[in-house]
Amino acid sequence: SVKFFDGSFKVSMPGGASIDGKWRANAKTREFQCSGIRTGGNFTGDTLAQKMLQIFTNAKKYSGDTNWLQIKQNDNSYMQFYN
């Protein structure tokens, strides 16, 4: 699960890995950045958790609306979430 709230986010993975930190976005430019990223649990062998950490760490832009969200490193590398 991924939860965004009050400028913070928290990711909980089924294998026990977790990611949390702060986020900020600019609606006009669609820029998106994460900071203060912390991890917990075991990421070894958890490809999805490793990819999510990579996307949050290197996030540059976003697109979406109230039903879906793409957090992008670049146009070809992103993670998409649905409400």
Report the distance separating Cα 14 and Cα 73, nearest Å.
Answer: 24
**Which of 61, 79, 77 shows the shortest CA–CA distance to 23?**
61
Strands (E), 30-76: 31-40, 61-64, 68-74
User: How do residues 27-50 score in pLDDT, each as one tens digit?
Assistant: 999 999 999 999 999 998 999 999
- What pLDDT is attached to residue 74? 85
Enumerate residues 6+ apart whose C-beta is below 8 A from 58: 73
Q: Residue with structure tokens 């070894």?
A: 44
Around Cβ 50, how many Cβ atoms within 10 Å?
13
Between 21 and 78, residue with greater pLDDT: 21
Q: What's the mean per-residue pLDDT of the chain?
A: 93
Global pTM?
A: 0.87
